Structures are given as structure tokens and as C-alpha cells.
Amino acid sequence: MSGWTNSDVPDQTGRTFVVTGANSGLGYQTAKVLVRAGADVVLACRNTAKADAVASELGPKATVAKLDLADLESVRSFAAGVTGADVLINNAGLMAVPFRRTTDGFEMQIGTNHLGHFALTALLLPKITERVVTVSSTMHQIGNIQLDDLNWEQRRYRRWRAYGDSKMANLMFGKELAARLAAAGSSKKSLIAHPGYASTELQGRSENFSDFFAKLGNKLPIAQPAADGALPQLYAATVPDVESGTFYGPTEMFGMRGAPGRSGYKKAADDAGFRAALWEESERLTGEKFDVGAAG
């Protein structure tokens, strides 16, 4: 693969990153590259046993903290323990899982992928000095968020549609956060990234026929290794002159693989009125309010 690679990550000595879901897949690859570049990395994970093994591999610059994004009390407890960081990478996620609910009663995918990260960012933003990177997916294209039924209480559950909704919510959140930071005169940035088609542990958890095709897809040439899938979020997190509000992803094979660059997206994400309504509903559901002007 030509273009921007791990070797192009600038020196990160003296910088601290919080990476959610850093015990496997894209999060693990991201944390590994950041540590090698000199950064201190907080592995924010639900499965601390797996995270401890990763920290042992990466060395003393990697530390582990418990974070279950499907439990707002866990989110608040984690955030209270963070004294400060330069960058927050909202990486963790679930994909097309069977219907179930979070501790707080949210549909699991919107609750984990979006609402958990929304609350986490609200709590950490005053402690973040530079930028927030939120990981979306090309599957945001199938998202069609129903604000009056965000948690699938009235509709028949469709796991892939719910996943697409959560990834569209990630994209809309990242863009709306960028707009609000700019309006507040903040120097902080909000970026969004997606991995294209990356072979990770995310696939194969739907518990239906789609698992077969997901696992088959991981073996085809269209799938890239997790290390390559992590490049767009590493680019968004480390390149100094990235433009806030930009969506980054692979630039080859219709955004499925290749070096990172600006990515196309469903233009519904530019609907500022809908983004604001989603923001307001997310604040209502999580009980967490943003102060985008805090600390800078």
C-alpha cells in the first residue's frame, strides 16, 4: 500500500491518548502504534483481563482502566479517574449483534457505539487539550435514524439497520461537535474516521446467517488487516494540520481499503438541524450536558 503509513506517524512523546476498546482489533493496533511513537496510552476497556495482556506487551507507557460503555455509571467512574489527556479516540463498538439492552435500557448498539461515547466525551472534553476522534463506518450509509424511537422500542429490531444508525450517529456527533467547538471559539478539534473493510473481531457476532458471509469476507482480497484499518483514525489523531469536522477513511476500492484520506459520506450527516436534535436527545437520554467551551 502506498501513501501514509504507520511510519509517518509524528513523534508523540509527551502526549497522552485515551483509546476505548484498545484490547483488540483497531483499538489494539492504534494503541500499539501510538506507544511506539512515544505516547502514553490509556487502554479504556470493558475486558480488563485482555487489556492487561495488551498493556504487558506494550510496556509501561500503556495503562489499563475499566470502561463499560454499555453502563453509564461505568462511564462516569472512568471519566472521574482521568486527570487529563491530549486526545480521546472513541474507537470501541459492536456490530450487528442480536437485540439486547444496555444497563440503562438503551438498545445495545446505539447505547454502546453512540450514547456511551457521547456521555464519555461530554465528561472528558474539559480535560482533553487537543482533539476527539470518533470512529464511524461505511455502514453509516444504511443508517436512517428515527429520533422518536432511537432505542427500538416501537419497531421490529433489525440488527444491521441498528448498526448503521449507530454509525451514522457517530458521524453526525463528530461533525456537530466540530461545529460547536468552532462556534465556541475553541481550539479543540473533532475528527471522524472509518476503517473501510478491516478484518477484526467485530465481524461474526450477529448469530445468524450473515456471520458466514462476514467471516468469508475477511478472507477475500477486499479485506485489509486491522493494522491498515487503524490508519485513518491514527491519521486523524496525530497529523497536526487536519481540519476539524473532516471524515477520514481508506482511499482505494470505494473506501474499502488503502491509505487514509478524506472520505465521502451520506450527505444527511450535513443536516445541522437533525444533528442538533440528535444531540439534544442524546443529552436527554444520557443525562450528560456538554460544555464545549470548557478549558479552552
Q: Hey, which residues are catalytic here?
A: 163
Q: Which DSSP category does 139 fall into?
A: G
Return the exposure string of 94-109: e unless at least 16 CB atoms fall within 10 Å of the residue's CB, then b: bbbbeeeebebebbbb
Burial of 243 (0-12, 13-18, 19+ CB in 10 A): exposed
114: cell is 453512540
Closest CA to 230 of 57, 35, 50: 35
DSSP symbols for 88-111: EEE-----SPPS-B-TTS-BHHII
Closest CA to 255 of 200, 213, 195: 195
- Give the neighbor-by-neighbor strand order of the sheet with 85-90: 62-66, 40-45, 16-20, 85-90, 128-135, 189-193, 247-252, 257-262
Distance of alpha carbon 171 from alpha carbon 229, whole angstroms: 17
Q: Are strands 85-90 and 40-45 parallel, antiparallel or unpaired?
A: unpaired
Q: Are strands 257-262 and 247-252 parallel, antiparallel or unpaired?
A: antiparallel
Distance of alpha carbon 168 from alpha carbon 179, whole angstroms: 17
